[in-house]
Structure 1
């Protein structure tokens, strides 16, 4: 597998069907003049379809900013971003909201479940709001994948933290988005519950063909991914395929050492 897909200079995906999202020369700046801070400094990266990608880097490296820009949750100062064949830089708010609703799923540290709804009602809520009927067969596969079959009628306060996050994962998967973004999705879970959720994310890629991008600081969590891209000081500085927790930890220690010597 190649490390990157060649980026065309024109809009659209240029026929590269293997790319779920792409950033090209992205800059994200806060402030101006001498106080300007570059959160992203000329970042170009492809997100491959059907691949579990982790984004890592030291605190303040720009990893969450990159995810937010790729997902259309934040704007860029310059550069271009595509989700599938659609360039989202410059899209009007209404079109961008529709694209996120129809093509993107989100999983965050906070489970964001409605306490008055059952697990299954929370899972189907985004589709209910959009006026779309859930695909029953797909929904059953998702529920089976995340292991919630016997807990669907329970409300969030009747579920453990790990089970609540599994509901959040199922909610993201249920609408069959082109890509799912997770921002530290196991950050509020203990190691056992975190491993369960990561296992479900891994299976959703292997068994359901899902595309996932996850920001994490945890080498163990990152080892569930197929590919890791590393940021430092707002720049893409390295990439790792078929990671292990030990290899990731060694790479992150390298960032710490660079920080002490710079």
Structure 2
């Protein structure tokens, strides 16, 4: 007997003018006593709609923690985070799950595709789980933008790494989320495949009005963004607009081997 799929209504999008995501006094502490580590130290941040933001910093600076807390994948020790007009700490587990499903897209370094599903089935999987039919016109636009229409019937093992990551990007955009969070999305790719994925994320912002927040260690990847936020010791220490790989690399040289700021450019 086929199980009945339960359908949950989509979470309404935030009113126009509200940032796609924002945080106030974001603080995340791990451990206690001698093992206590402050990964985020009272961070204020805002991600505007239709903007591509890269987050950079030395290892241990808090960049992935910031993204995970903003995306509702990790809880805060204190402070507040919003996706649109929804304050994450005010939601119960069900509400938080619905918000991540309906208003947030995720792209990670590991492609996280199901090997038994085709590319198209992987793209529509979150909506299938939610019991919602995709917007066919939007889905077609995303599929064409990702450039894999001839490969939609292929399973992940029949796709290159770059093609798999583009499927993951398409899956993140297919539900028309308010914001896409990408954690080192090109970390497992060669430069050509990585450039293809970054170009797709860039075009999703420019042509589709998507909001993208990407954690990266690569100055070339950061140069695809509209702005770059630099973290050190759990704090935002600088911001750069209209970045180039050379400017970003020069700015990263301002951190010592321990991740501390040694100069401000």
TM-score scaled by structure 2?
0.90
Please show how residues 59-70 of structure 1 align to structure 2 within 5 Å.
59-70=59-70
Please show how residues 1-262 of structure 1 align to structure 2 within 5 Å.
17-256=17-256, 259=260
Give the deviation of 1:35 after TM superposition.
2.8
**For the residues of structure 2 that align with 1:163 and 1:30, how far apart are their CA atoms?**
37
What runs of 5+ residues in structure 2 fail to find an aligned partner?
1-13
Q: What is the number of equivalent residue pairs in this alignment?
A: 249
**For the residues of structure 2 that align with 1:16 and 1:25, how far apart are their CA atoms?**
24
Q: Deviations over 1:202-259 (max 9, x none)?
A: 0000111100000000000000000111100001100000100000000001113774
Change (3 A) 1:86 1:117: same
Match of 2:8 in 1: none
Q: Secondary structure at the match of 1:58?
A: coil
Give the deviation of 1:92 after TM superposition.
1.1
Match of 1:8 in 2: none
**For the residues of structure 2 that align with 1:142 and 1:187, how far apart are their CA atoms?**
23
**For the residues of structure 1 that align with 2:163 and 2:108, how far apart are their CA atoms?**
14
**For the residues of structure 2 that align with 1:259 and 1:25, how far apart are their CA atoms?**
21
**For the residues of structure 2 that align with 1:15 and 1:158, how far apart are their CA atoms?**
41
Q: Secondary structure at the match of 1:255?
A: coil
2:111 touches 2:165 (CA, 8 Å); kept in 1?
yes
Give the deviation of 1:17 after TM superposition.
1.4
Give the deviation of 1:89 after TM superposition.
1.8
Q: Secondary structure at the match of 2:60?
A: coil
RMSD: 1.7
2:18 touches 2:84 (CA, 8 Å); kept in 1?
no
**For the residues of structure 2 that align with 1:224 and 1:110, how far apart are their CA atoms?**
21
Q: Deviations over 1:100-149 (max 9, x none)?
A: 01100000011111111111111011100100101111011001111011
**For the residues of structure 1 that align with 2:79 and 2:163, how far apart are their CA atoms?**
39
TM-score scaled by structure 1?
0.91
What runs of 5+ residues in structure 1 fail to find an aligned partner?
1-13
**For the residues of structure 2 that align with 1:259 and 1:84, how far apart are their CA atoms?**
32
